[in-house]
């Protein structure tokens, strides 16, 4: 029995040593954390936003190609669902295309997730209102018209009397998606039912299916993240208050539906799980290039440096 106990203790000690291996970590001239990927050991679990997913997957592929040999998982299940998994202590990171809200923060506290919640910005995106390419009249809406377009109006001529009296067919993301939550907050003060209760509304878990359906129906209107829209065919963007969605208008804030993309974790996770800290550092160090490849917009340098500093400060004294 004593021999078994000694073996068990040795295993635990070895596991602890393995878990606290910071040999991968260094600092660059600016004091930010850099990663020797070949020395990163341990699994990392991530989950959440379908919008963030293509960007995250690119960085994961690079992480592995540079020598990471453990398991880095990512579940493409929507921002809300990812934050629920995080609150249940099931993942190390929750990616989100909308800023975390008070209820989600409370769920994390109630779930017993250890440490202080940390928010890292990853990129800038814009939500695009899109219509079928055969729709030649809906080219611009005001904010109030956009609200009616996805909630109270039944026909297009209710948006503007000059529009035809055609039925509005709405195609929107499922409620678990950060894109849905962002629009619900931005246009309807977080009253989700304004969107879900609107007539002729279809909800989609898969963004590509949403785009495909908008492309098939001349009366369709929807909204989606710009990264998906840039790859779409059969649909056109709608300007908001005379401003078209673009990199310039998203970054300078003149386009009314621009937003940050985020990942959430805690200081305790980063301080006690070096592999998770390595992933955070690697993601931030490669965020700009990855963002551009999937039609997001890289963070302005000051914003990106602030994220890197937050990580460096969190890991102070660990290596």
Backbone angles phi, psi at 240, to 5 degrees: -120, 120
Boundaries of every domain in the chain:
33-124+260-314, 125-258
47-89 pLDDT per residue, tens: 999 999 999 999 999 999 999 999 999 999 999 999 999 999 9
Gyration radius of the chain over CA positions: 22
229-258 pLDDT per residue, tens:
887 889 999 999 999 999 889 988 899 999
Name the architecture of domain 125-258: 3-Layer(aba) Sandwich (3.40)
The model's pLDDT over 118-136, given as tens digits with 9 standing for 90+, comes to 999 999 999 999 999 999 9
Range of weakest confidence among 15-29, 145-159, 175-189:
15-29
Query: Top-level CATH class of 33-124+260-314?
Result: alpha beta
Distances in whole angstroms, Cα of residue 246 to Cα of each of 228, 256, 257, 291? 13, 11, 11, 14
Q: In the prediction, which pLDDT does 227 show?
A: 81
Token digits for 185?
Answer: 């907050």
pLDDT 10s digits, 280-309: 999 999 999 999 998 899 999 999 999 999
The predicted model scores a pTM of 0.83
pLDDT reported for residue 18: 47
The two domains 33-124+260-314 and 125-258 share their CATH topology (first three levels equal): yes
What is residue 20's predicted lDDT score, i.e. its pLDDT?
85
By 3-state DSSP, what share of the chain in percent is helix, strand and coil, each rounded to 5?
45, 25, 35
Tokens of 218: 């001349």
Number of H helices, E strands in the chain: 13, 12
Average pLDDT value for residue range 209-220: 96
Contact 127, 179 (CB under 8 A): yes
Residue 295 region by backbone torsions, left for phi larger than 0, else alpha for psi between -120 and 50, else beta: left
């Amino acid at each position: 029995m004593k021999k078994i106990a000694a073996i068990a203790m040795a295993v635990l000690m070895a596991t602890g040593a393995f878990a606290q291996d910071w040999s991968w970590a260094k600092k660059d001239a600016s004091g930010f954390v850099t990663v020797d990927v070949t020395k990163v050991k341990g699994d990392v679990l991530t989950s959440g936003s379908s919008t963030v997913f293509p960007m995250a997957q690119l960085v994961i592929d690079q992480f592995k190609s540079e020598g990471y040999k453990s398991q880095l998982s990512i579940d493409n299940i929507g921002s809300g669902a990812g934050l629920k998994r995080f609150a249940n202590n099931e993942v190390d990171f929750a990616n989100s295309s909308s800023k975390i809200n008070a209820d989600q923060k409370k769920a994390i506290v109630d779930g017993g997730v250890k440490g202080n919640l940390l928010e890292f910005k990853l990129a800038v995106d814009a939500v695009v209102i899109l219509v079928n390419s055969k729709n030649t009249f809906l080219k611009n809406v005001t904010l109030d018209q956009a609200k009616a377009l996805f909630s109270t109006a039944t026909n297009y001529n209710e948006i503007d009397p000059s529009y035809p009296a055609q039925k509005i067919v709405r195609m929107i993301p499922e409620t678990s998606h950060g894109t849905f939550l962002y629009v619900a907050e931005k246009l309807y003060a977080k009253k989700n039912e304004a969107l879900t209760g609107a007539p002729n509304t279809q909800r989609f878990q898969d963004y590509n299916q949403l785009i495909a359906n908008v492309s098939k129906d001349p009366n369709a209107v929807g909204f989606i993240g710009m990264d998906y829209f840039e790859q779409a065919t059969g649909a056109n963007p709608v300007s908001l208050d005379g401003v078209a969605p673009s990199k310039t208008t998203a970054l300078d804030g003149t386009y009314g539906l621009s937003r940050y993309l985020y990942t959430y974790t805690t200081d305790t996770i980063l301080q006690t799980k070096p592999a998770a800290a390595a992933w955070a550092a690697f993601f931030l160090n490669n965020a700009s290039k990855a963002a551009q490849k999937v039609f997001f917009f890289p963070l302005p340098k000051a914003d990106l440096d602030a994220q890197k500093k937050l990580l460096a400060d969190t890991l102070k004294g660990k290596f």
